[in-house]
Structure 1
């Protein structure tokens, strides 16, 4: 099982290790300088005293911890037993520390310096012991121990600062995560909240923009499915009913010319479904491609659609008045069929007793319905989705469209003007 690495822990760990290494290295340098400084101070002290006194062979000078002699063997025995004379170099301090200075103050320190001036060689040594004896159980920390103490304190403080910084940074990140997880269709439309840091705000904007684009695509797909199911049900019903009719006619060996007429109706329904699908895809994708143009006889198309939708008037006392002409116009067939079908369907569905007037002259179509019934039954199958689709199509294609209420119904006017198409 693969374990994902936490960015927060990774960054904190990397910074903590880096900072700790830097602090430890600087502390080591400080300790090194501490010992170097003691050596320099001790060297200068011995150097300043080595030629200040008269010294002869066999008569070394002893002043408290300091001893000065012209020969190695004249130095104190403790010095001779702890420091190898072969390792002594001219002008270089040699030393021996009894104890580990990093743990506790040394018990005794032995220092020797070999000097030469005007041909005279002298050995100077110092033996340093504790200023006072320690009582049982008493421990005195060396001075440079505080360097280590301060280093550890610096690491702890640094770790605390890292934790605080991580909390301040991770809190808005968690807020961004929770906000992104809880995004829905309504929240995508709301203003972006602030996540403290500009980088997180930019990331939130990218997330919102991406999800809004996905949501728009889903909305378009849902509208397409709704429009398709709404518009294709009539040609599908025509296809099914005529296919059943054709089967019965074949079984009964009815006149082939009548069978051909039924077959043509099936072919027209199939062509209608193809045109409707192409039109809906064009609307859904909102591409700049123009729909294919056909020579459309609006009057003939209106008469055909009127016949297909006449079932909506079964059982109603509604009269339909058609006034059409035979003017051919270059228009997209699928788009015209959707618009005309929805407008006539809406008029038929919302007229329960009265009349429907359908008047077409060249590219102009006017549909007026007069409903004389008090029936308030509302079938929004055509009024809701159908008219919504109609309005979108005509707005997208640039046709003139007017729909307003009258005393007992509505009046709809459409201009199928090819000069205004996109």
Structure 2
């Protein structure tokens, strides 16, 4: 992929507040522009979206009425990743040499309430309880644990790490540490997943400023190279949210497809990654995505996690900002929150959660219904 640089990054506080989703988005964009040393009037294209907080293009009312082409993106949990791919392609095509991408959301309290008809499903699907995402996550990780020898305590250790890392992140929602025993005892939701193994719908925003390499010397932010950014949808044989079925033969994985494509495009292998962000809607997801994204073999996660390999000071730090479990899940913002965190890690600006040894390669992965994944590879 022709090189594109991330020269500005901004993020809001995640969790619950009186601010609107739009307010979070405007603040994140302005922070990213300030980081890059670029005025809004210099931006040649913008892409962004949310699931429940309004239309991204209307943010120009606060950012400035410059006539910039601003495209709304809505692609579930991959909204941020899809907007990022769009911005990359705008720069590579010559449409502009400076682009902004923003993802934001503000969800009400309680669980997500998807409607079957919006997903091409019969209403009976909802009446039978198959639109309940916690049920899907429980079924998927239970099967994986059976096949690969993963124990419930490993799931609790993943969540324990998330809360511990979140306690180091001033923008995280959940900043109180919880022990593995407290997590295991927090009440079963869908076996084997307990209450504190899940993320919660929340609010927040993240934004990035991208530019072509020829502008690198004239911008303010420390550039990070975006070596690849890809989005993939599910293939036949996948076991996904709102389509929990098991076909004959080997399962396919949209996360595996997206990660493989991202590494191939970047010319970098999983073994070269120093810090990564993996979708952790619940702790079982992080376990499965470690293997699906190529960092280990199925079943090796038990040893990796218990040995501390995925901790901030480990061989492969995962979700150093606390992930979705600590930050919550504002759908439009999550994918860009991941990229924001890796940018800060590669710049050496992650504060108390900084990975030691100045990491040089990072990876992000997001997964969402009904089987879509976005991945990036970044380099210092």
TM over 0.5: no
The structure whose RCO (Cα within 8 Å, separation 6+) is larger is 2
Structure showing greater Rg: 1
TM-score normalized by structure 2? 0.20
TM-score normalized by structure 1? 0.18
The structure whose residues are more often helix, as a share, is 1
